[in-house]
């Protein structure tokens, strides 16, 4: 299936101006919660050399059990990452509730 969205496309199209909080560990640990817009995360991940042009997967353990990659859950309110090698799942980004910003 070659027409799947990439993390870059999803962040550009639907999260460009929305705030996302980094909650994962795949890009390193952070002492303070990092909250950026989707557009800002694209810039940061590009600077880090991360491959965000890999197609996203739908349901990692069922529809794509042999692929690693990002997927969204809870109506797109968070992004998870599935590692098919060790079958681990991790929430990487969560959409920020406006109450969290105050």
Three-class SS string for 19-88? Answer: EEEECCCCCCCCCCCEEEEHHHHHHHHHHCCCCCCCECCCCCCCCCCCCCEEEEECCCCEEEEEECCCCE
pLDDT in tens, the chain (102 residues): 346 799 999 999 999 999 999 999 888 887 788 999 999 999 999 999 998 998 898 877 676 778 888 988 877 789 999 988 998 999 999 999 765 554
- Determine the Cα–Cα distance for residues 19 and 39; give it in Å rounded to an integer: 9
Q: Give me the percent of the chain exceeding a pLDDT of 70.
A: 89
Predicted local distance difference test score (pLDDT) of residue 60: 76
The kind and range of the H/E element at 91 are strand 88-95
């Amino acid at each position: 299936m070659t027409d799947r969205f990439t993390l870059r496309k999803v962040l550009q199209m639907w999260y460009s101006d929305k705030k996302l909080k980094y909650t994962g560990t795949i890009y390193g640990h952070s002492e303070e919660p990092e909250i950026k817009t989707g557009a800002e995360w694209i810039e940061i991940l590009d600077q880090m050399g991360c491959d965000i042009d890999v197609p996203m997967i739908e349901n990692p353990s069922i529809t794509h059990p042999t692929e690693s990659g990002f997927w969204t859950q809870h109506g797109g309110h968070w992004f998870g990452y599935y590692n098919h090698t060790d079958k681990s799942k991790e929430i990487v980004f969560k959409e920020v509730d406006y109450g969290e910003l105050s």
